[in-house]
Amino acid sequence: MRKGVVFIVLLGFNFLFIYGINYANEVMFKNDFMIYLTEHDENPVEEENKENPVQVEEKTSFNGESIEAVGKKIERLLKKTYLEEMGEYMSRASIRKSVNPYLVGGIILESTNCRRDCSIILKQCNNVSGMKGDPGCFGGTYKKYNSLEDGINDLVNDLSKRYETSESQVPNKMFKSYGKNATWAFKVSKFMEELKKGK
């Protein structure tokens, strides 16, 4: 007898619980009210942008010089080296990321020694700037890239993250945080001036 009463009471509680849940759901949906049990970032603006993405205007010049003009200047210093015909690519990759293309060229020339004979890590591993990481070039600490373009992009991306403004993209200001010394800054600055002149 007691078991039967307990069963009926539990059945009644279950009925009331299910009825209450259904009623609450009905009220919430009628009033367009939702409770999220998991983290939910409701951002109508972002959702709208996914459907109608804003077109970001691509940068096509640096200090009044077109990508092509800068590329030709850089290319003049890369002729007859392993980096020949990469001038415009360096220019385009840099300008798109708001990085000084002459800084990129200067770092690459200082790192690779391509005014004489380009370094082995450039020729064998497409590492244009002495970047470290995996996979290692010849199993060492310097990073190996599948292409010169990949090596250039990694350098540009690193500079754009660490030195966001044009004022900070100056060798004499950045050499300490870049893990280099004053001699490095002097050499990069000298290459930058040569690149700007296209000589």
pLDDT tens column, 140-191: 999 999 999 999 999 999 999 999 999 999 999 999 999 999 999 999 999 9
> Rg (Cα) of the chain, in Å, rounded?
30
Same domain as 177, residue 96: yes
- Both tokens of 128, joined, read 């244009």
- Both tokens of 16, joined, read 């009331």
Q: How confident is the model at residue 133 (pLDDT cuts 50, 70, 90)?
A: very high
Virtual torsion, Cα 62, 162, 131, 95, nearest 10 deg: -10
CA distances from 139 to 55, 148, 150 (A): 42, 19, 19
Same domain as 189, residue 118: yes
CATH number of the domain enclosing 76: 1.10.530.10
CA 27 to chain CA mean position, Å: 46
Residue 167: give the domain boundaries: 65-197
What is the residue type of 174?
A: M
Q: How confident is the model at residue 2 (pLDDT cuts 50, 70, 90)?
A: low
The helix (H) or strand (E) run that includes residue 66 is strand 65-66
Same domain as 165, residue 101: yes
Separation CA 79–CA 171 (nearest Å): 24
pLDDT tens column, 47-65: 444 455 544 457 888 989 9
DSSP 70-89: HHHHHHHHHTTSTTTT-HHH
Separation CA 2–CA 146 (nearest Å): 78
Average pLDDT over residues 75-101: 95
Separation CA 145–CA 132 (nearest Å): 11
Confidence at residue 117, expressed as pLDDT on a 0 to 100 scale: 87
- Count the domains in the chain: 2
Separation CA 87–CA 67 (nearest Å): 10
Confidence at residue 99, expressed as pLDDT on a 0 to 100 scale: 97
Instruction: Tell me if 58 is assigned to some domain.
Output: no
Cis preceding linkage at 101, omega within 30:
no
Same domain as 100, residue 192: yes
> Does residue 4 have a pLDDT over 70?
no
pTM for the whole structure: 0.70
Instruction: Tell me if 100 is assigned to some domain.
Output: yes
Separation CA 56–CA 29 (nearest Å): 38
CA distances from 148 to 62, 82, 86, 180, 183 (A): 22, 10, 8, 23, 26
All residues at 6 or more sequence positions from 184 whose CB lies less than 8 Å from its CB, including other chains: 110, 171, 175, 178
Same domain as 174, residue 87: yes
Instruction: Tell me if 183 is assigned to some domain.
Output: yes
Instruction: Tell me if 151 is assigned to some domain.
Output: yes
Average pLDDT over residues 71-81: 93
